[in-house]
Amino acid sequence: MKIYPGLRARNTLLDLVTYLLLSLGAIIMVLPFLWMVATSFKLPADQYTKTLIPNPATLDNFKELWQHLPFPRLLFNSLWLSILSTIWALLPSLWSGSAAETCSLPCC
């Protein structure tokens, strides 16, 4: 297959534009997460300032969370829900696979 020089340049330019747009989209998607993480290290009085890097950085917010929230209960609830949803998703698959194995289907 013969590749023409103009087509190769056009494909390269199209790839470059595609990567630039994807990179811009990735940055836009990551910025709120970075802002959330940076805000978690700020003092409560400084949480509404427009600086990204906290000065001074503190872990007091995390200590307060551990003291006020029942983390063992929250962890148990998360594990219990994930186990039940996994079982709930596996049961129909097991039943369908068993039915397909035992029954002679005309398509197989």
Give pLDDT tens digits along the chain (108 positions).
566 666 677 788 899 999 999 999 999 999 999 999 999 999 888 888 888 888 888 998 888 888 899 988 999 999 999 999 999 999 988 888 888 778 776 665
43 CB burial (10 A radius; 0-12, 13-18, 19+): middle
5: tokens are 């020089």
- Give Cα 50 to chain centroid, integer Å: 25
For the chain, where are the alpha helices, taking DSSP H only? Answer: 5-40, 60-68, 71-102
Q: What is the Cα Rg of the chain in Å? A: 27
What is the per-residue pLDDT for 34?
93
Distance CA 55, CA 42 (A): 7
According to the model, what pLDDT value does residue 85 have?
A: 96
